[in-house]
Amino acid sequence: MPHINFPEGLQGIRAAMAFRPETAKPLNELAEVLLHAPNSLTPGERELIATYVSSQNDCYFCQTVHGAIAAAHLNGDEALVKCVKADFWSAEISGKLKALLVIAGKVQQGGKHVTTADVEAARRVGATDIEIHDTVLVAAAFCMYNRYVGGLDTWQPHDEELYRQRGKKTAKEGYITMSQEYLPRESPN
Amino acid sequence: MPHIALPEQLPGISSAFAFRPETARPMRELAHILLHEPNSLSPGERELIATYVSSLNDCYFCQTSHGAAAACHLGGIETVKQVHVDFQQAPISEKLKRLLVIVGQVQRGGKSVTSAAVDAAREQGATDVEIHDTVLIAAAFCMYNRYVDGLATWQPRDETIYAQMGAHLAREGYTTPSIRPHRDS
C-alpha cells in the first residue's frame, strides 16, 4: 500500500504526480526535453538509457514503462530492450551507446564514479559533449524518478500489456501531452 | 577538470545549467517549488533536508551551497553543522528528525523507505504533503548531486562564494542564477 493517500487507480509515478501537480509540471518538462525533444541521440537510445538505469535501481514501474517506450521507438523490439538490461555488451546497439551506458551505470552508483577514461572512451566512438551531458543527466534524473516512485511505495501492477500500450502512446505523444491523462485540468484564469 | 567543455568561471551546477538551458529551466523550477515556495515545512527545514542528502551523497558543492542557504534561513551555521554530524542531537523538531530518517532511506534507494519510518513521522504530525515533499527533495538531490559530480564540475573551496550563493538562494530562490562568472566587469 502506498505510504501516503494517493488518488486511486493511478499507477506508479502518475499517482504521485496527480497528488502534487505543482512538482509534476517541471518533472514532466524535464523528461520531455531529455527523452522526447529532438536530439542527436535517438529517442530509442535515450529511452534505453532510462530503462537501463531504472533496472539498475530495481524500479519495476520505470524500467517496464520506459522499456515499452524504448521498444515502441525501436520497431517493437522488446528482445533488444531485455538484452540491454541483462548485458548491454552483447546487445545489437552502437559502440557509442555502449560507451554511454557505461557512463550511465557509473552515474547510478554515484556521480564521482564517472572517470575521465569512461568519458574519453565515449568520445573516441563519436559521443559529443552534449550527448555525454544528456547521458549523465538522464541517468541522474532516473535516480530521482526511481526513488520517487519507490520511496512512496506507489501501486505498480504487473501487467505487461498495459505498459506496452502506454509505451506506444508515450513514444508518439511525449510526456507533457500524456500528463493531461492524469493531471487535474488547469483552471482558466 | 570538468568531463565536458562547460562554461568557465561558473561553479558546480551553475556551469551545467549555463551549458544546457533547456534542461536548466525545469530543474530550477523544481528546486524553487520544493525549497522556496510557501510550504508547511519552513524553507530552513527544507534546505536542511537538501543539505543532509547532499552530504550523504558526498557532493561538496551541493552540501555547501544549500548549507549556506539553510544557515541564512536559520540565522546561523551551527544547526547545519550539527545536522551534518548527528541530526538526532541537533536542535531541530522531532518531526524533522523523523523526516530526515526517511531522507536517509530514500538516499539508499526508494525501496528502503519503511512503513515504520513513515508512521513515526506521522506520529509527530507530518502530513501527507510533507512526507511527499521530503521523499521528492531527497530523490531530487540524488539527481542534482549526481549531475554536479558526474560532470566533474568546478567546485572551488572558497567559503565566501558559497555564502554569497546561499544568501541569494535564501532571498530569491532558484529561478534565477545565484552567481555570475567571476570576472571583473
Helix (H) or strand (E) holding A131: helix A129-151
Q: Is residue A168 part of a domain?
A: yes
Q: State whether residue A138 sits within 8 Å of chain B by CB.
A: no
- Searching chain B, which residue's CA lies closest to the CA of residue A34? B23
Our count of domains for chain A comes to 1
Residues of A with Cβ-Cβ distance to B148 under 8 angstroms: 111
Residues 6+ apart with CB under 8 A from A2: A15, A152, A153, A154, A155
Point out the residue among B25, B143, B145 whose CB comes nearest to the CB of A141: B143
**Residue B131 grid coordinates:** 512526507
- Of chain B residues 36-95, which have a CB less than 8 A from chain A? 37, 57-59
| Nearest CA distance, B113 vs chain A (angstrom) | 6
- Is the pLDDT at B114 greater than 70? The verdict is yes
pLDDT the model gives residue B182: 57
Residues of B with Cβ-Cβ distance to A151 under 8 angstroms: 102, 105-106, 110, 113, 135, 138-139
* Digit-coded pLDDT (tens) for A139-159: 999 999 999 999 999 999 999
Inspect the interface and report whether the beta carbons of B20 and A137 lie closer than 8 Å: yes
> If one looks up domain B12-172 in CATH, what number appears?
1.20.1290.10
| Nearest CA distance, A127 vs chain B (angstrom) | 11
Closest C-alpha to B178, from B35, B4, B1: B35
pLDDT the model gives residue B180: 76
Residues of A with Cβ-Cβ distance to B26 under 8 angstroms: 25-27, 29-30, 33
Q: Which domain holds residue A146?
A: 13-179
| Nearest CA distance, B129 vs chain A (angstrom) | 8
Q: Is residue A19 part of a domain?
A: yes
pLDDT the model gives residue B185: 36
**Percentage of chain A modeled with pLDDT above 70:** 98
**Residue A81 grid coordinates:** 530492450
Give the confidence band of B41 by pLDDT, cuts at 50, 70, 90: very high
Inspect the interface and report whether the beta carbons of A145 and B118 lie closer than 8 Å: no
For chain B, the structural domain boundaries read 12-172
Mean of the per-residue pLDDT values for chain A? 96
Q: Is residue A188 part of a domain?
A: no
Q: Is residue A7 part of a domain?
A: no
Average pLDDT (B140-146) is: 98
Q: State whether residue B163 sits within 8 Å of chain A by CB.
A: no
- CATH number at A44 reads 1.20.1290.10
- Of chain A residues 82-101, which have a CB less than 8 A from chain B? none
Inspect the interface and report whether the beta carbons of B23 and A30 lie closer than 8 Å: yes
- Is the pLDDT at B17 greater than 50? The verdict is yes
Q: Is residue A91 part of a domain?
A: yes
Q: What's the CA angle centered on A29, arms A28 and A32, to 5 degrees?
A: 85
Inspect the interface and report whether the beta carbons of A150 and B111 lie closer than 8 Å: yes
Q: Is residue A116 part of a domain?
A: yes
DSSP letter at A10 equals: -
Asked if residue A141 lies in contact with residue A1, where contact means CB atoms within 8 angstroms, the answer is no
| Nearest CA distance, B108 vs chain A (angstrom) | 9
| Nearest CA distance, A116 vs chain B (angstrom) | 6
pLDDT the model gives residue A189: 52
Interface-testing mutation among B59, B132, B137, B141, with chain A (most A C-beta atoms within 10 A): B132
Inspect the interface and report whether the beta carbons of A147 and B138 lie closer than 8 Å: yes
Distance, CA of B2 to CA of B124 (rounded, Å): 44
Inspect the interface and report whether the beta carbons of B133 and A112 lie closer than 8 Å: no
* Digit-coded pLDDT (tens) for B58-92: 999 999 999 999 999 999 999 999 999 999 999 99
pLDDT the model gives residue A16: 97
* 3-state SS, residue B143: helix
State the pTM of this model. 0.97
Distance, CA of A109 to CA of A130 (rounded, Å): 21
Mean of the per-residue pLDDT values for chain B? 96
Residues of B with Cβ-Cβ distance to A4 under 8 angstroms: 118, 128, 131-132
- Searching chain A, which residue's CA lies closest to the CA of residue B146? A111
The alpha-helical segments, DSSP class H, found in B9-75 are 12-19, 21-31, 43-56, 60-74
Q: Is residue A1 part of a domain?
A: no
pLDDT the model gives residue B40: 97
* Digit-coded pLDDT (tens) for A89-135: 999 999 999 999 999 999 999 999 999 999 999 999 999 999 999 99
pLDDT the model gives residue A50: 98
**Percentage of chain A modeled with pLDDT above 90:** 95
Longest CA span, chain A: 54
| Nearest CA distance, B65 vs chain A (angstrom) | 17
- Is the pLDDT at A76 greater than 50? The verdict is yes
Asked if residue B148 lies in contact with residue B58, where contact means CB atoms within 8 angstroms, the answer is no
Average pLDDT (B32-60) is: 98
Cell 568546478 sits on residue? B154
**What count of CB pairs under 8 Å joins A to B?**
152
